[in-house]
Amino acid sequence: MKLQSFPTIASMLLSFAATSLAAPFVGPTFYGDAPDEHHPWAVHDGNRPQPTIVVPGTFSTQEQPGKPPSDAVILFDGTDLSKWEADSGEGVPTKWIIKNGAMECVPGSGFIRTRDKFGDFQLHVEWAAPTRVEGDSQGRGNSGVFLMGLVEIQVLDNYMNPTYADGMAGAIYGQNPPLANALRPPGEFQVYDIVFRRPIYRNGELVDAGYVTIFENGVLVQDHGLIEGPTGHMRRTKAVPFPEAGPLKLQDHGNPVRYRNIWYRPLPPRAIEGGTDGPLTTEATTAKRQELAMAIRQDAQKLENPANPLPQMLRLAESLQYAEDAVTLQKVQQMAAQYVDALDQLPADKLGPKKDEARHVRDVFNYLTRFKVLSASFEPKLKLEQLIKNQNWDKRPDGKQKRKASE
C-alpha cells in the first residue's frame, strides 16, 4: 500500500475534532482490507479503540520489591493484610504474619485468601522458601498459589531437591509439570507472572477452555497450559464448571513460606463473553459493525455543511463499509454526484488546486468498489476517473502513469 491513500493531516484533524466515538481517530480510513464476517474492523482501522495507557512498573531485586504497573490492583504491598482473610470463613482474620515487608505462613493456621474475587487475570506473586532448609521432596518450602481458589500453581523449594515433576514449583499441581526448573536457592525471592483464563461454562457445558501461562523468574514454565479442572492430590482431575470469579488463595502446607508484592490486572473479556479481540462469530461481528456504522452516521450529522459537503459525504461513505443502509447509500450517491458535477464545472484555475482532494475521493470510491460497498458502475466514480484522466493528474513528472493507490 502506498502512503498516498492515508488521509491528509487536515482530514484526520477534522475527523478527530468531529468524532463522537469513544476513541479519537488516530489512523487511516479507506486503507486496509475492509471489515468482513468475522472482523468488525478493517485492517489498520482508525475507528478501532486505542488500547488503555498503562504506566509500567519496575522489576524487583532481592532487596526490594518492584513497583506494580499503574492499573494493577494491589493485593499485598508489604504493609498490611486488609485485603486478606482466613480461608475458614468470611471476615475471619488470618493468623499469617507480616515480617520485613513480606507475609509469612504460620504453619497450622490454614490457607489465606483474598476478600476480592476475580476471574481472568494477570497475576504477579513473589515468594521465598525458608532460608533454613528442612525436609525433602514435597516437604520442603511447600505452599501454593490457588487461582480462583481452585487451581494450584505449586510453590515448592525444589532447588536441588528432586520431587515428582507435576508437583514442582510452577506446575499446575498434578496436571502439568513446569517446562523448566528455574528456581533460585531457598531464601531468595522467586517471581511468578501468571496469565490465567478460567474455563467458561454455560448450563454446565464447557464453552471456552481455561489456560494458564506462567513465567517463573522470567522463564516460561507453562505455555498456555490447559486447565483440566480444579487441581488435587493423587486423584485424576475431573472437569467441573467454574464460577466467574473466585478468591486468590495461598496454601499453608506447614512451611513458613513468605510472600510479597502481590498484584493483579483483570483481563478483557474473551469473544465468547462479548469481547472484541480476535475473530468473532458472524452474529457478534454483525452487531459490532452495526454499532460502528450507527456511531459514524451520528457523527456525520455534525459535519453538515452546504459550503463544504465533502467531509460529511466521506464520513457517511465510511459508515457503509461497516453496515449497509439504503438511505445512507442514496445520500452518498447524491452527494458524490453533486461533488463531481461541481468539480467538473470549475474553471481551470480553481480546478487545479483540487487535484489531491479529487484523487483522494477517487481512491475512496475505488476502495468502496473493491469491497463491494459501491457498485463498479457507480457513476460519480466513473466521471471522476475521467476527469482525473483528462487533467493528467495521475501522470508523474517522468510521464509514467501512477499506479492507483487502492489496487
How near is the Cβ of 253 to Mg ion at its closest, in Å? Answer: 5
Q: What is the DSSP letter of 174?
A: T
- For residue 208, list its beta bridge partners: 200
Our CB check for Mg ion shows the closer of 173 and 378 to be 173
Strands (E), 169-300: 190-197, 200-202, 205-208, 210-216, 219-227, 249-250, 258-266
How near is the Cβ of 180 to Mg ion at its closest, in Å? Answer: 19
Contact residues: Mg ion, CB under 5 A: 142, 144, 251, 253
Our CB check for Mg ion shows the closer of 144 and 246 to be 144
Q: CA 79, CA 74: separation in Å to the nearest integer?
A: 11
Our CB check for Mg ion shows the closer of 241 and 254 to be 254
| Nine-digit cell string for 253 | 502446607
How near is the Cβ of 176 to Mg ion at its closest, in Å? Answer: 15
How near is the Cβ of 295 to Mg ion at its closest, in Å? Answer: 50
Region label for 174, one of left (φ > 0), alpha (ψ between -120 and 50) or beta (otherwise): left
Our CB check for Mg ion shows the closer of 144 and 210 to be 144
How near is the Cβ of 259 to Mg ion at its closest, in Å? Answer: 13
What end-to-end distance do the CA atoms of the chain give, in Å? 8
Our CB check for Mg ion shows the closer of 251 and 328 to be 251
- For residue 86, list its beta bridge partners: 112
How near is the Cβ of 142 to Mg ion at its closest, in Å? Answer: 5
Residue type, 310: L
The residue behind cell 474475587 is: 117
Write phi, then psi, for 191 (nearest 5 degrees).
-115, 125
- Residue number with the shortest CB distance to Mg ion? 144
Our CB check for Mg ion shows the closer of 48 and 253 to be 253
Our CB check for Mg ion shows the closer of 197 and 253 to be 253
Our CB check for Mg ion shows the closer of 166 and 325 to be 166
How near is the Cβ of 154 to Mg ion at its closest, in Å? Answer: 5
How near is the Cβ of 5 to Mg ion at its closest, in Å? Answer: 57
Say if residues 20 and 298 touch (Cβ distance below 8 Å). yes
Nearest to 65 by CA among 261, 258, 262, 265: 261
How near is the Cβ of 100 to Mg ion at its closest, in Å? Answer: 23
Which 3-state string (H, E, C) describes 265-317? EECCCCHHHCCCCCCCCHHHHHHHHHHHHHHHHHHHHCCCCCCCCHHHHHHHH
Q: What is the DSSP letter of 165?
A: G
Q: CA 241, CA 252: separation in Å to the nearest integer?
A: 25
| Nine-digit cell string for 21 | 466515538
Our CB check for Mg ion shows the closer of 153 and 332 to be 153
